[in-house]
Amino acid sequence: MPAPITEEQNRLDREALLDTAERFFYERGIQAVGMDEVRAASGLPLKRIYRMFAAKEDLVVAVLRRRDQRWRGELAARVEQVQDPRERVLAVFDWLAEWFGTPGFRGCAWVNVHGELGSSSQAVLAEVRAHKRAFHDQIAEWVAATGVPVAEPVFLLAEGAIVTAGISGDPAPARHARAAVAALLGAP
């Protein structure tokens, strides 16, 4: 009889599974990636995977939730190093430009999932909407500190830059959006 799986091993296996699924889903899409492929690449038995996530939809939600925490955390870590409120808002677009230039950049994972699944999964749709609300609120907080009431256009410029860069494969939309935001904020 095999030794029972420890809590630490379970955590490590879950993270490895999420890493594998996130990479495959982001690179190729949700529907193009089967659970057998995730199983083979993660090295975990399918039965064990389904004990962690009862359905592929549950795995997708977990991937998006974890990616949101990491993505917004990395953005905040970069932006909050900047002291001046207007420069802090502009730093959002500097960070986006760097992200757009990374190898394998395929645009916004949440927009991609929404485009692929639409509203066919209420759980996934709820996770996509939660990410967009959280990103909006994050930007709105940074913009509010400037005293200039332009949170909505700044958010839309960020979202538009992400989508445009994802489609074009060019990081320039971040630069263009940054210039527009600088004008909105009256930044030099």
Residues 2 and 18 in one domain: yes
Q: For tokens 């332009």, name the residue.
A: 150
Q: Which pLDDT belongs to residue 147?
A: 97
Residues 131 and 154 in one domain: yes
pTM: 0.93
Structure tokens at 79: 């932006």
Residues 42 and 76 in one domain: no
Residue 60 predicted with pLDDT over 70:
yes
Rounded Cα–Cα distance for residues 175 and 156 (Å): 14
| Mean pLDDT of the region 45-68 | 94
Q: What is the extent of the structural domain holding 145?
A: 62-185
Q: Cα dist. 155→57, 97, 130, 140, 188 in Å?
A: 28, 15, 15, 8, 20
When the pLDDT of each residue in the chain is averaged and rounded to a whole number, the result is 95
Residue 47 predicted with pLDDT over 70:
yes
CATH of the domain at 30: 1.10.10.60
Residue 126 predicted with pLDDT over 80:
yes
| Mean pLDDT of the region 8-29 | 93
CATH of the domain at 150: 1.10.357.10
Overall domain count for the chain = 2
Residues 26 and 76 in one domain: no
| Mean pLDDT of the region 161-171 | 97
Residues 98 and 167 in one domain: yes
| Mean pLDDT of the region 13-18 | 94
